[in-house]
Amino acid sequence: MPMAKQEAAPDAVARAVEALTDALGSDAVLTARGDLDEFRDPFWVLGSADHDVSAAVLPGSVAEIQAVVRIANEHRVPLWTVSTGRNYGYGGAAPRVPGSILVNLSRMNRVLEINSELGYAVVEPGVRWFDLCAALEEAGGDWWTSIPDLGWGSVVGNSLEYGRGHTRFGSHAANICGMEVVLPSGELMRTGMGAMSGNRAWHAYPFSYGPSVDGLFMQSSLGIVTQIGWRLMPRPEKYASCWLHFDGDEIIAPVIDAMRQLMLDETINNYPFLGRGVAANAEGQPDLDPDSQKWALRFALYGYAEVVEAKWRIVERVLGSVPGVTIGRKVYDGTDRVGPDRGIHDDRVQAGIPGMELLDLYKVPFGPDTGHLDFSPVGPLVGSEVLKMVRMVRGMYEEFGEPYAAGLMLLPNSIIVVSVMFFDPKDEAKTRAIYDNYDPMLAVMAKEGYGLYRTNIYKMDAVAETFDFNGHALRRFLETLKDAIDPNGVLQPGKQGIWPKVMREWRDS
Amino acid sequence: MPMAKQEAAPDAVARAVEALTDALGSDAVLTARGDLDEFRDPFWVLGSADHDVSAAVLPGSVAEIQAVVRIANEHRVPLWTVSTGRNYGYGGAAPRVPGSILVNLSRMNRVLEINSELGYAVVEPGVRWFDLCAALEEAGGDWWTSIPDLGWGSVVGNSLEYGRGHTRFGSHAANICGMEVVLPSGELMRTGMGAMSGNRAWHAYPFSYGPSVDGLFMQSSLGIVTQIGWRLMPRPEKYASCWLHFDGDEIIAPVIDAMRQLMLDETINNYPFLGRGVAANAEGQPDLDPDSQKWALRFALYGYAEVVEAKWRIVERVLGSVPGVTIGRKVYDGTDRVGPDRGIHDDRVQAGIPGMELLDLYKVPFGPDTGHLDFSPVGPLVGSEVLKMVRMVRGMYEEFGEPYAAGLMLLPNSIIVVSVMFFDPKDEAKTRAIYDNYDPMLAVMAKEGYGLYRTNIYKMDAVAETFDFNGHALRRFLETLKDAIDPNGVLQPGKQGIWPKVMREWRDS
């Protein structure tokens, strides 16, 4: 299957840039090559001109976003939107169609509201995890946010990509309650109860009257989300940061089955993480050892002291009875902020305190320029099946001669079996081999019924191909919607393999 | 604003009925007036010809549903789909456009799977709560389902209407994981991971690769859902059915605030219900007394014995400190099925055991033919605001001379303030007055920022009008999607105020 060969027409881009400069001012429009370099895929330095933007625009308001979208329609220029562009491992800020104009929302960085009665924040796309945490601290520290590991990314951006965190509210897409969206037409829309002007439950009740459309804006080319309601977790009286260790893959199966029981019966109600060969050690220093046989599971208990104690006794009974494991915990008061000076990285992550440790870890293999490509199939949370997935993926890594670093994200009924391929982008042959290895891995997993939840811009069509039920019925449905609401195909063409009519003939012919 | 005056063309209907009979057999197509009477709005006996169907078709398979949709397109005949048509109080099985052909899915009544490892069922639209409970019992009773009060309705139908239940998994729309849908074109689509043939996590992982479309099929005219994955709750070791009583509206505020704390910190993790004047008494007999000042809140604790005990002590501390309330509980073993012979109605509802008590209750005011119209605005779960909503609604009932029976459904951050207007459908003037009262109530609540989550077929446009942000941007967006995927406008025209292009000129002109 050929890659899309669409490219933004340079004349049209030039006219659009002029109009954007008129509308937003020259400060908000970047065109110098040097200024645009930071928006390249951070790891694909070899062929990055294939995914270069021709300009970047930094709107500072909803009205400016609307102006950008209208100008793009007028000049038929493709846009590629990022919140802050920290989607490393998935392409960073790089667009699918070369010559696209990047819409970077990092200037829209206001925490619009912290509702300390109902426990939600309203944030713009430029708000980073670091910013939200700081705002919550400043508001008194009564509410915690779920975070991914790294603090520099956008709350909105991560959540719209189905990113995941590690507290009770770690399913970030599900944690959104009420959106505001600029549509490809430039029209402003509010979802859920927000569809009523002045509605009091916009960020408290998660559905619409009539169909609920929020899901349409996840991994999407159907709109630009300008704000979201974001649910917070009340600071618990006690927080137990717990762990379980074992050696050798075969213990995965009984551990997963025991964890499923504890997650389904709500003894454990955060989002646990099971890793091998990838961790920050007790001192917070990176500890990357793909040859290790040692698996480490982390999970958390939150709540009133007596509930956390009662739950720990159940954990001891259920997990403690799995042969070959050791378990432990460290209990914090909710009012003790788990600072860098106390508690290991895992303790902080599950308390909603972001850091940059994971980035350090990811630089270990080949120094500061280390690249990585993530491979992340989803399966059911059943021990035998998770073990099978790990063995399949590990087997392919071994076949390709790559070290296998695994990070499994446990959800109540499913699991995302993330693995990471590290490479040195300066080594062209090796880098190409890594990207080439991805496709056969994809095919092998899809054949067994395991699909990816997310992927790199280079692999979006390949992954879309694996979602093949009834001749790709879901993709055809989404492309019908795309054509209806974005007839000029200006917004994020090719995102997750959804192409506007004007650009998909290459694939469908 | 005029009501829609669309009507199915009798000639086209006749041709479609002939084609349906050829395709599905005469057993599956009903046209005799007597056979069609059961599909009328059960309460609006006065003018019900306005919403009569011209025929009913009962497909028994996905292929038959596809045939129905294709025939409807060929002959340009509107369809109106129900699972079992028990959506009483909201119009029953009656369509918005008179002369529509009813698609009744009650023959598709298979429980396709009970996955006792991961805890989900896969059900067709004809599966009633009674059927699902019986299937779970037969499978060993290890899993409970959330239920609404009444057992005769459809799991799929209730969930797609944002119906609610009373266990941990009582947000029924959110409890769906993976759908199969026949689109208006007749094409079959699977959502989420099901978009990959043979995917192993279809009913375990809730999102798609790319945009998630499941929300589009809620309260919807965009597709016919043919099966859903449905999450189950593991049978708990202990189940405490708890209550709180108080007299007088003003105690609502501190009770709601205390409940919000306990729900946000996950002490209480079911969906509680606060009622006044509407209940089944200890003997399971209906107890309808709108003049009562006594409010009754029910909620549940589930889990291991020591967790339920620890949580009850917290409940005593937090709720017990609200002046003027009395609290209590009854604790069951999870393995004791809470049968009709033991435990009151509330105990059974929160244990996922459906009944028919509520229907009996609703017959008290005017005998077996009592009609009711539900009015159900949504607000934030904040004591002062819930009290304000109750006072507003109650004030309007008093103004209209109607008894006020209230049922408040508590969600973790929001609340649905349901009230019920009872009437005798044989009393035409009174019945008309009840329906006429609805519109000013709607306007008053909308002005304060409270929108309805659901409504009767007669009021769908009126409620849609209140969702007015940016010139009804959400409705216009949904109608753009509607036109794209249902260009002939055959599926549920007018559902929740979404009209196909061919039928909305009356409104937009």
- What are the tens digits of pLDDT across the range A149-168? 889 999 999 999 999 999 99
Lowest pLDDT segment from A299-313, A336-350, B5-19, B195-209:
A336-350
Query: With an 8 Å Cβ cutoff, is B470 touching chain A?
Result: yes
Contact A381 B118 (CB under 8 A): yes
Of A171, A190, A469, the CB nearest to B197: A469
Give the pLDDT confidence score for residue A265 in this predicted structure: 96
Of A171, A196, A211, the CB nearest to B451: A196
Give the pLDDT confidence score for residue B2 in this predicted structure: 35
Lowest pLDDT segment from A125-129, A290-294, A468-472, B321-325:
A290-294
Which residue in B319, B321, B331 sits closest to B265, CA to CA?
Answer: B319
**What is the rounded average pLDDT of the residues A425-439?**
91
The C-alpha atoms of residue A276 and residue A206 are separated, in whole angstroms, by: 36
What would the pLDDT profile of B92-141 be if each residue is shown by its tens digit? Answer: 899 999 999 999 999 999 999 999 999 999 999 999 999 999 999 999 99
Task: Please give the residue of chain A at the shortest CA–CA distance from B169.
Answer: A264
The C-alpha atoms of residue A230 and residue A154 are separated, in whole angstroms, by: 12
Contact A234 B484 (CB under 8 A): no
Of A222, A233, A450, the CB nearest to B211: A222
Contacts of A106 (CB under 8 A, 6+ apart): A58, A83, A84, A85, A125, A126, A154
The total of other beta-carbon atoms located within 10 Å of residue B327's CB is 17
The C-alpha atoms of residue B220 and residue B203 are separated, in whole angstroms, by: 21
Contacts of A158 (CB under 8 A, 6+ apart): A129, A148, A172
**What is the rounded average pLDDT of the residues B391-406?**
93
Distance from CA of B267 to the nearest CA of A (A): 8
Contact A207 B162 (CB under 8 A): yes
The C-alpha atoms of residue B193 and residue A22 are separated, in whole angstroms, by: 45
How high is the mean pLDDT of chain B?
92
Give the pLDDT confidence score for residue A341 in this predicted structure: 54
Give the pLDDT confidence score for residue A89 in this predicted structure: 77
B227, B240 contact by CB (below 8 A): no
Contact A453 B174 (CB under 8 A): no
Contact B496 A174 (CB under 8 A): no
The ipTM estimated for the assembled molecules is: 0.96
Residues 180-209 in B contacting A (C-alpha not used; CB under 8 Å):
183, 187-191, 193-201, 203-209
Query: With an 8 Å Cβ cutoff, is A468 touching chain B?
Result: yes
B453 CB neighbours in chain A (<8 A) are 205, 207, 209
Enclosing H/E stretch for A429: helix A428-447
Give the pLDDT confidence score for residue A3 in this predicted structure: 35
* φ/ψ (deg, to 5) at A393: -65, -45
Contact A267 B303 (CB under 8 A): yes
Task: Please give the residue of chain B at the shortest CA–CA distance from A494.
Answer: B210
Of A183, A219, A266, the CB nearest to B477: A183
How high is the mean pLDDT of chain A?
92
A196 CB neighbours in chain B (<8 A) are 446, 449, 451, 466-469
Contacts of A437 (CB under 8 A, 6+ apart): A396, A400, A402, A421
**What is the rounded average pLDDT of the residues A378-401?**
97
Which residue in A344, A300, A309, A314 sits closest to A169, CA to CA?
Answer: A300
Q: Give the C-alpha distances (Å, rounded to integers) separating B431 from B43, B85, B168, B369, B373.
A: 9, 22, 37, 12, 10
Of B196, B451, B470, the CB nearest to A189: B470
**What is the rounded average pLDDT of the residues B446-463?**
96
Burial of A436 (0-12, 13-18, 19+ CB in 10 A): exposed
Q: Which residue has better confidence, B280 or B142?
A: B142
| Best residue in B214, B217, B265, B270 for a mutation probing chain A (most A CBs within 10 Å) | B265
Q: Which tokens belong to B152?
A: 């005769």
A196, B470 contact by CB (below 8 A): no
Q: Among the ranges A356-365, A431-440, B442-451, which has the highest mean pLDDT value?
A: B442-451
Residues 295-354 in A contacting B (C-alpha not used; CB under 8 Å):
302-304, 306-307, 309-311, 313-314
Q: Give the C-alpha distances (Å, rounded to integers) separating A68 from A20, A85, B470.
A: 7, 18, 19
Report the helix count and the strand count for chain B, using DSSP H and E.
14, 22
Which residue in A245, A253, A234, A375 sits closest to A298, CA to CA?
Answer: A245
| Best residue in A171, A197, A200 for a mutation probing chain B (most B CBs within 10 Å) | A200
| Best residue in A116, A159, A414, A486 for a mutation probing chain B (most B CBs within 10 Å) | A414
What would the pLDDT profile of B250-283 be if each residue is shown by its tens digit? Answer: 999 999 999 999 999 999 999 999 998 765 555 5
**What is the rounded average pLDDT of the residues B142-160?**
95
* DSSP per-residue letters across B420-446: EEEE-TT-HHHHHHHHHHHHHHHHHHH
Distance from CA of B14 to the nearest CA of A (A): 31
**What is the rounded average pLDDT of the residues A352-381?**
89
The C-alpha atoms of residue A115 and residue A123 are separated, in whole angstroms, by: 12
Q: Does residue B87 sit in helix, strand or coil?
A: coil
pLDDT reading at A406 higher than 80: yes
Distance from CA of A412 to the nearest CA of B (A): 8
Give the pLDDT confidence score for residue A285 in this predicted structure: 58
pLDDT reading at B5 higher than 60: no
What would the pLDDT profile of B333-352 be if each residue is shown by its tens digit? Answer: 998 876 555 678 889 999 99
User: Between A and B, how many residue pairs show a Cβ–Cβ distance under 8 A?
Assistant: 332
Contact A195 B495 (CB under 8 A): no
Residues 122-151 in A contacting B (C-alpha not used; CB under 8 Å):
none
Task: Please give the residue of chain A at the shortest CA–CA distance from B187.
Answer: A473
The C-alpha atoms of residue B115 and residue A78 are separated, in whole angstroms, by: 45
What would the pLDDT profile of B179-191 be if each residue is shown by its tens digit? Answer: 999 999 999 999 9
Query: With an 8 Å Cβ cutoff, is B384 touching chain A?
Result: no
Give the pLDDT confidence score for residue B99 in this predicted structure: 94
